[in-house]
Chains A and B, each alone.
Chain A
Amino acid sequence: MSSERITKKLTFKTFRFNAETDFLPYFKTYEMEVGKDELVLDILNRIKWEFDGSFSYRRSCRHGICGSCSIKVNGKPVLSCKQNVWELVDIFETDTLLLEPQSRKRVVKDMIIDKKDFWQKHAELKPYLVAEIDEHPKEEIKVSPHEAEQLLEADYCIQCGNCYYACPVVEVNENYFGPAQFAKAYRFNADVRDNAKRERLEKVREMGPGVWDCVKCFECAEACPKDVDPIGKITKLHNQIFEEGLAQDNVATRHAVGFKHSIVKHGLLDEGELVRYSEGTLGVMKHLPEAVAMFKKGKIVMPWNMPKSKNLDEIKTLVKSSSKVKF
């Protein structure tokens, strides 16, 4: 095998902007030969060192722990120091890659963004252990292996923001806490030494900022470089809200519970009844124009024609014996 270094000639279209001096952002392209082991962080360094010393980006540990070097490449959130460049060429089937900050509207300079909202929302959910600590303990606080496992992967978060800036809800609802924040709330809620579980749940159950506004797109799980699976933790928070008896009677909770009512009655979901039950008899009126349009096109099943699953008895039995959660 040849010892010659194999490289690919790649073009990097790079977002440039200085909030202090520029009126509009612009793109600069840099061409370079890239070896198969080079990472996105190597490219950022080379742009700064070989092309333009004014190019700015955050970096620190270089081994996937500090969480400071995240950007987006062709729309894919990446932790620069872990993402191989050739792999991106393979995914996007192109030799031109677009380097962008995590969020264009939050840019301070080039790849550097203002993460103020990210940290503020973190702080609101008390991302730390709330416990009465004996300053002179006689023995350690015992946590069993099983109890420790309940943190799941939530403890691995490095707060890089990949999930937060990939979340489409954060993009359109500035009050929404965001996936990293929920994962952190779960991390401490799942800790047996912590005493602020209910306090956190009272915050994350609110409509608007809370977990009910999640659209379940799994962008967060896909974006995470540490496999924290934030949406999995959002589901756990939903579960905790019901388990702790903190579920308010609103359209979101009724929407989740309504599925059970429908399934026990028909096996299938009664779509019309789910909307009516979730919204309430008055609230459902706002869906009238769409309901009429659907009715005209034969898209609404009348209650007397509602299809039912075969062997519905089995489903009734299973719902009765398997369902333990109360609302």
Chain B
Amino acid sequence: MAKLKYALYTGCTARESTPELLMSTLAVAKKLDIELVLLDEASCCGASHLQDFDDFLSLVLNARNICYAEKQELDMVTICNTCQLNTVMTKERLDGDEDLKSQVNEKLAEVGLEYKGTSSVRHFLYAIIDDYGLDRLAEKVVKPLDDFNIAAFYGCHNIRPSHLHRKHNAVERDVGEGGGEEGFEKVELMSKYNSGENPYNPTSLDRIIDALRGKSVDYESKNKCCGFHADLQAPHTAHKLTGTALLDAIDNNADMMVTPCPLCHLNMDVKQDSVAKEMGRDIKLPILHLPQLIGLALGIDPQELGLQHNVSEPTFV
């Protein structure tokens, strides 16, 4: 199998408030022999707020980011759910509207760039599942996580809206002969044989936990919202949503929580004290980034995974 190689769009948080996310992503990629080329030219995606103010500017900036992956003829991977959503929302709109694409390209031409639509954009999580493979990942496990109950927290922007997620994050797989009659049987086969997940019953993180031989926690809040995007303007709303999810995980015996999104991580990890006040209950739960969890099972040194940067201290290490 050829060596896997992607352009990595880190987003802003991995370069600032969650340095451990970038550290652990690079460490895991190295261990799995996946080559990641950092897109240092990329700007902020606007984090779903810039488009509220200036939609066209947000499109141009996101298109520019994709251009840099296209220039290197690489598919792009992201490590933040919100970067993922903003990038594919841009891609979807430009690929489906020649007028809009030429308006954006008119601007990009001023700096010598052109958006073509040739690179796919996926969260790194799905590249690991679909391109690397869970069986191969399982073979690499040297420190199985079988002592731990792990609560997967999916993060909205990787699972909703599902039509975008299915189109961009999931890889269409050949399901072979006998795809069944039109209609129901076909739907059944699709969901079993590709990584597309349903927003009401997502499974990717749980399947990774399973491959790392941990026990995944079954709890209602796994696909709910942490409220991050209203942190500043509606702190009570955000705290309640974060608190509800954390307590749900705790009440279902979670020893830790894992998330593929650094924004969910910031709310869950950094805000436990203020969330506990809002909820009127103590909250102490270690929160890991997905590559930190994978890295631990692969036997990577905790320092290299940046665990010293986690506020909710992972005392079990």
Where the two chains meet, the residues of A that have a C-beta atom closer than 8 Å to any C-beta of B are: 36, 74-76, 84, 86-87, 90-93, 168-169, 172-173, 207-208, 212-219, 221-222, 229, 235, 238-239, 242, 250-253, 255-257, 259-260, 262-263, 267-269, 271, 275, 278-279, 289-290, 293-294, 297-301, 307, 309-311, 313-315, 317-319, 321-325, 327
Contacts and interface: CB of A to CB of B under 8 A. Distances in A.
Interface stretch (B29-37, B126-134, B156-164, B168-176): B156-164
A260 B232 contact: no
Given A75-B200, A93-B201, A299-B17, A172 B308 contact: no
Contacts of A327: 53
Contacts of B44: 259, 262-263, 267-269
Nearest to B238: A215
Contacts of A221: 160-161
Given A251-B233, A323-B57, A298 B162 contact: no
B214 interface: no
A325 B311 contact: no
28 contacts: A74-B201, A75-B200, A91-B191, A92-B201, A169-B230, A212-B233, A212-B234, A218-B157, A218-B160, A219-B225, A221-B160, A221-B161, A222-B160, A235-B55, A257-B53, A259-B47, A263-B43, A279-B232, A289-B274, A290-B270, A293-B311, A294-B270, A299-B270, A314-B64, A314-B113, A317-B110, A323-B56, A325-B53
B311 A260 contact: no
Contact of B110 (A92, A212, A252, A318): A318
A173 B237 contact: yes
A307 B61 contact: no
Interface centre among B43, B157, B273 (most CB of A within 10 A): B43
B117 interface: no
Nearest to A1: B181
A187 B306 CA distance: 48
Contact of B274 (A290, A299, A324): A290
Contacts of B273: 289-290, 293
Interface in B15-62: 15-19, 40-44, 46-57, 60-61
Nearest to B40: A310
Given A90-B184, A239-B55, A321-B110, 14 more contacts: A207-B233, A214-B230, A215-B237, A216-B156, A216-B229, A222-B161, A238-B53, A259-B53, A260-B57, A267-B42, A267-B43, A268-B12, A268-B15, A297-B310
Contacts of B270: 290, 293-294, 299
Contact of A271 (B16, B61, B201): B16
A92 B200 contact: yes
Which 5 residue pairs are nearest across A and B when measured between Cβ atoms? Answer: A217-B225, A218-B160, A238-B52, A252-B233, A314-B111
B311 A215 contact: no
Nearest to B108: A318
Contact of B54 (A207, A255, A268, A325): A325
A309 B40 contact: yes
B169 to A, nearest CB: 14
A227 to B, nearest CB: 9
B309 to A, nearest CB: 5
